[in-house]
Structure 1
Amino acid sequence: MASTKNFVLLLVSCATLQISIAGDPDILSDFIVPPVLKGPLDGNFFTFTGMRALVNAPFPTTFKVTKAAMAEFPALNGQSVSYAVLQFPNSTVNPPHTHPRASELLFLLMGSLEVGFVDTTNKLFTQTLQQGDIFVFPKGLVHFQFNRDANIPALALSAFGSANAGTVSVPNSVFNTTIDDQALALSFKTDVATIQKIKSGLSG
């Protein structure tokens, strides 16, 4: 009985350890200052002004993402958070993709969006969001957003549980790499000509 109890405790400890290392690593200081910082450390370092370009700017004609992640905002290093503004003109899509290092919390500010993700059992979870709705995409799962409306654009703000969530585009990672055409044709149960047609469409 005691050995069974110890085994269960060991399993719980291992699970807890896995959860604790699943996100960005903890830092041993209040924040991380890059060694190439120019000038004195002050409030400017902790301020990101890149979103100002969106204020009063015309809405884009194609889907656009504006990021505030570690690459754009170095003060996020070690803070396990980042943002992105997603602009969806009429009838545009953010194609299926994953964020390998973070879950995503999407807040719809304007318009409507059809969103969804596929879990590891290949079950699709979808929802049509209206202005003011929030939807969570679990970490690492394939997901998408689609503005089906032919007349009204959509605007969303996404928060990520990582300073560097990463994005893996499913269409690009499959068809815009050097995976052999025949391997892709067999995988998708089609022919090489179809695979090449898809590739040419993505590269245009």
Structure 2
Amino acid sequence: MVSKIYELIFVMALAFATIEMGRASDPDILTDFIVPEGSPPVDGNFFTFTGMRQLVGAPPPEKFKVLKATLAEFPALNGQSVSMAVLEFPGGSVNPPHTHPRASELLFLLDGGLQVGIVDTTNKLYTQTLQEGDMFIFPKGLVHFQFNIDASKPAMAVSAFGSASAGTVSIPNTVFNTSISDGILAKSFKTDISTIQKLKAGLAH
């Protein structure tokens, strides 16, 4: 009798875990693709994204820049569980610590060198210095960053995401550029309100 109860608990736990895994990714669709209401008849243009053309022949940007191809920019991605971004790093620039709550990120370094890092849920930091042609995986939901280690040379990378809308939560902006009170932040960071205000002022530029 006890073994039957354990079997039932195991089956229920397995079913619950399966349901939760399903919820953690983009939902499956029951058609080949999803066309937004009011769209013109579907042809090859619907499946084509031309937003990356602006990269061709363009000089490197003056500050870190991300060019996205997500559901917001490319409606044909709806239901396809995939999106991409091109990351451009001027010399010495950084993509500050952030998370993607709905997708893992697979980064491919095309040009230059990057130091990358992730922090797991035990607060352990994993870092790596990437060379051209290297790839690095950022697991879903974990805090991570990228830094151009060469102050004189730009770097460029392409990131693929396992969601049409991975989302981005910037740690500095979320903490210091929202309406969390200065008093709460000062207590949380064990500092004073004037220091918090200086940090906010720096992020405003």
Distance in structure 1 (CA, Å) of the matches to 2:28 and 2:150: 42
Residue by residue over 1:47-67, the C-alpha shift from the partner in whole angstroms, topping out at 9 and shown as x without a partner, is: 000001101111111100000
Where in structure 2 are the equivalents of 1:1-20 lying within 5 Å? 1-20=3-22
Q: Describe the SS at the equivalent of 1:105.
A: strand
Shift of residue 122, structure 1, vs aligned partner: 0.6
Q: How much has 1:6 moved relative to structure 2?
A: 2.1
Structure 2 residue 188 is matched with structure 1 residue 187: yes
The alpha-carbon deviation at position 36 of structure 1 amounts to 2.5
Unmatched 5+ stretches in structure 2: none
Q: Kindly tell me the number of residue pairs found equivalent between the two proteins.
A: 203
| Paired amino acid for 2:25 | G
Matched, 1:100 2:101: yes
Distance (Å, rounded) in 1 between the aligned partners of 2:65 and 2:38: 30
Q: Which runs of 4+ in 1 moved over 6 A?
A: none
Q: Aligned AA for 2:11? A: L
Matches within 5 A, 1:86-125: 86-125=87-126
Give unmatched runs, 5+ long, in structure 1: none
Cα distance in 2 for residues equivalent to 1:113 and 1:202: 23
**Cα distance in 2, alignment partners of residues 101 and 21 from structure 1:** 10
Partners of 2:118 and 2:38 in 1: CA distance = 40
1:46 matched residue in structure 2: 47
Deviations along 1:102-139, one digit per CA (max 9) or x if unpaired, are 11000000111000111111111111111111101011
**Cα-to-partner distance string for 1:15-53 (whole Å, 9 max, x where unaligned):** 11211221011111111000031x321010000000011
* TM-score normalised over the length of structure 2: 0.97
> Aligned residue for 2:38?
36
Secondary structure of the equivalent of 1:139? coil
Cα distance in 1, alignment partners of residues 120 and 187 from structure 2: 24
In the alignment, the residues of structure 2 paired with residue 196 and residue 3 of structure 1 have an alpha-carbon distance, to the nearest angstrom, of 57
RMSD: 0.8
SS at match of 1:3: helix
2:115 alignment partner, SS class:
strand
| Alignment partner, residue 151 of structure 2 | 150
Report whether the alignment pairs 1:68 with 2:69.
yes
